[in-house]
Structure 1
Amino acid sequence: MRRLIKPGQRKARRPLKVMMLGLRGLPRVQGGVERHVEELALRLARSGCSVEILARGPYVERKDPHRWRGLVVTPLPSPRARSLEAVVHTLLGVVHAARRGPDILHIHAVGPSLLVPLARALGLRVVVTHHGFDYDRAKWGRFAKVALRLGEWAGMRFANRRIAVSRVIARTMNTRYGVLVDAVPNGVTPQPQPSSMAALRQFGLTRRRYVITVSRLVPEKRHLDLIEAFARGAPEGWKLAIVGAADHEDNYSRMVLAAAEATPGVVATGFQSGLALRELMAHAGLFVLPSSHEGLPIALLEALADGLPVIASDIPANREIGLSDACYFPVGDVPALTAAIAQSCASFHTDAERDASRARVGREYDWDLIAVDTRAVYETLREDEDPAAILGELTPLPRPSPR
């Protein structure tokens, strides 16, 4: 992670006004982008920034603008149609930002980035964070995939500054579009291990005797592979906890819930947050992420921060975290996943191994440092960018340096 401006070297100036757009909402809204924005925005606010979150109305409890932990949360209308909600909400968000005039409009994910040219035309300074190749997700049809690719192009081509949550994404964008993209990863916040186990009792789980996966119920997370692998070779006395829900119920989510109900030892907990989620994660015996698509998986980082043994598919986003080869299996290979689960559950994981995992991930994926680097991007933009710059003046820049 390159340090663009060292802490303590900034000149005293008025607080940055930042708006964030592209997430569903916060707090307690499931999703990697939502978690990323929550952790980042809270730290930016503590550092003196004025941060406003533009949320999608159906996903937040309060429908009026309100404050939450130092952030301003402004719900805007959004249809609950999967193909329309992001673009409609982003359009309204860009218009809202143009009226309010923040120093920075920070747009998250490639779908909402489709509106970056409009934001620039309205005089806004725009930072885009690329969270993953969303057009590779199995849930999208042909038209949606084309729109998402156009969003990626528009974000990379017309944003004032670009961030990617992994080095893989940053390198790909640099090669594909010839622009500089700062690799600023997702992170974790190490937390004390909870002593309470109410959530375990609620779902019939025994400490250190269950496998857990945490994600939305979407096809690229490949829950069915995990359920089948567990059914083939479930260690005696172990259970599988599937934590998460679908934003929009569909055939896939119904198939996952039906398979969970039909498979002995599998428990579907639905969406969990707060202390219940902490208990379920911290007391698990093994975390598994069998997905075919990720940006940089926060859930996997959080499992490592809890010292859990982990198994993940061998896609580039998971490989970037740098686990041992024994922790990876070929995506979609159910027999290999079955064998990996059996081997991990039969192994004894020492406290020293768990502590080493916690220390490494806490050191390399520290949200506090991530917030410093993100603010550094904002500050360079405030220093040297003219919001009235003519669109299309971008020129190829060097590849980003490795983190």
Structure 2
Amino acid sequence: MRIAVIGAKGLPAKQGGIEHHCEEIYTRMVEKGHEVDLFARSSYTGSNSLHTYNVGGVRIVSLPCLKAGGMDALLSSALGAMASLGKEYDIIHFHALGPSLFTWLPKFSTNAKIVVTCHGLDWQRAKWNKACSHLIKMGERAAVRFADEIIVVSEELRSYFKKTYNRETTYIPNAASNLGESDPNFAFGTSLGLQQQRYIMFLGRLVPEKCPDLLIKAFQKLQPQGWKLALVGGNSDTTEYSQQLVDLAANNPNIVFTGQLKGAHLAEIIQKAGLFVLPSELEGLPLAMLEAMQEGVPVVASDIPVHKQLISNNRGVLFPVGDLHSCVRSLDWAIHHPQEMAVMASNAQNYVKANFNWDGITDDTLGLYKALLHCETPPPVRERRWSMLTNILARLKVSCV
């Protein structure tokens, strides 16, 4: 198969669940003999516009973009959608709702099957202003109207599309990356002032919807003796919010901002954490939590539906989302009940190994592609072009309502 990928920032993955997802599944598809082109953003790749290079057999095409909030994603996705028209792709796969705004372009102009993966309801994210949120919501509606198949990464998202649009979707989750070995001497962690098993870890982008501010407040209120808090991650168009977090920490020596980590340093900090905490109010399917669960790290998290899916049934501790006092109590209980938390961590580790792995996810995605291609072949583009043209603007108008 010839596959085009639109919506990812680029490869190799640096930060962001979509990029890690794409690197894991598309390199595997190439190994199975398929051809994959991924249209990326020059702001991410650091390459000149229209530069091409290879990552794990995936051909990366760097496209121009604007470094202005969400406009870089929209421009590069529009250009990617147009670029996909010039080659006979079998599948054109859009990742995320904003880029899906342009699903109608290849739907109108090619015989390729259009697939969208919804990694989360991005229009709800606090970093977007009202105009950007509206455009992303339009992308969601465009996906519903023009995609041949929509993949969702959580059961919550499947319920959302069914309830909101009466649209059936296919549940194919994400999985944790294999972190590999880390330094048994914990040298990097020691350089940060951390002790093995004696720090609470937050891992993710420092954005409002992940609520790292709530965790900082809870840690300062609890002041657990001999423990530190490590916040691992960079910002995502949220520099002002990141500075607010630093100010909130108020130079507390027990609160450590590590910045974005990867490779052996990231593995070391995850694997030696005493607790992993994710207080988010919004998630698609959190890869960071899956990685912690996979490594056997005890988990405490807010009780949003996707977290319930992952750590209910004695796989972790849940607290009401946004509730500071409940967060404090949950952290206190987890710190003082290590044996109970170890049992939960073991249950979570077994659950992840049984239900979330990239080989299975790749096979499921390829199976969906093949099923679409074996459907009845649509009329040639030239025969359906004008009939679709009369409907496109009407459909987009409805989607804006």
Asked whether 1:358 is paired with 2:349, we answer yes
Q: How does 1:159-238 map to 2 (within 5 A)?
A: 159-196=147-184, 197-238=186-227
Equivalence for 1:329: 319
Of structures 1 and 2, the one with the larger relative CO (CA 8 A, separation 6+) is 1
Asked whether 1:262 is paired with 2:251, we answer yes
RMSD: 2.0
Asked whether 1:56 is paired with 2:56, we answer no
**AA in 2 matched with 1:69:** G
**AA in 2 matched with 1:136:** Q
Is the contact between residue 288 and residue 310 of structure 1 (CA under 8 Å) also seen in structure 2? yes
**Percent of residue pairs bearing the same amino acid type:** 34
Is the contact between residue 305 and residue 361 of structure 1 (CA under 8 Å) also seen in structure 2? yes
State the distance in 2 between where 1:199 and 1:156 align: 46
Shift of 1:35: 1.6
**AA in 2 matched with 1:57:** S
Asked whether 1:18 is paired with 2:3, we answer yes
Match of 2:22 among 13, 16, 37: 37
Shift of 1:316: 1.1
Equivalence for 1:252: 241
Equivalence for 2:56: 69
Secondary structure of 2:374 counterpart: helix
State the distance in 2 between where 1:340 and 1:189 align: 27
Equivalence for 1:156: 144
Asked whether 1:339 is paired with 2:324, we answer no
Equivalence for 2:298: 309
State the distance in 1 between where 2:318 and 2:345 align: 18
Secondary structure of 2:236 counterpart: coil
Which moves more between the two structures, 84-93 or 22-31? Answer: 22-31
Secondary structure of 1:262 counterpart: coil
Deviation sequence 1:220-251 (CA, Å, 0-9, x none): 01111000000011311111111111132432
Secondary structure of 1:321 counterpart: helix
Equivalence for 2:398: none
State the distance in 2 between where 1:346 and 1:298 align: 27
State the distance in 2 between where 1:159 and 1:274 align: 36
Is the contact between residue 176 and residue 294 of structure 2 (CA under 8 Å) also seen in structure 1? yes
TM-score (norm 2): 0.89
Shift of 1:354: 4.1
State the distance in 2 between where 1:134 and 1:181 align: 17
State the distance in 2 between where 1:309 and 1:34 align: 26
State the distance in 1 between where 2:313 and 2:52 align: 46
Asked whether 1:96 is paired with 2:83, we answer yes
State the distance in 1 between where 2:358 and 2:125 align: 27
Secondary structure of 1:242 counterpart: strand
Q: How does 1:111-126 map to 2 (within 5 A)?
A: 111-123=98-110, 124-126=112-114
Which moves more between the two structures, 327-336 or 248-257? Answer: 248-257
**AA in 2 matched with 1:47:** K
State the distance in 1 between where 2:55 and 2:289 align: 27
How many residue pairs get aligned? The number is 378
Secondary structure of 2:349 counterpart: helix
State the distance in 2 between where 1:94 and 1:70 align: 21
Query: Is the helix fraction higher in 1 or 2?
Result: 2
**AA in 2 matched with 1:378:** Y
Equivalence for 2:396: none
Which moves more between the two structures, 245-254 or 369-378? Answer: 245-254
Secondary structure of 1:67 counterpart: strand
Shift of 1:199: 2.4
Deviation sequence 1:19-42 (CA, Å, 0-9, x none): 111111222421111121111212
- Which structure 1 residue ranges, 5 or more long, are not aligned? 1-15, 394-403
State the distance in 1 between where 2:188 and 2:5 align: 33
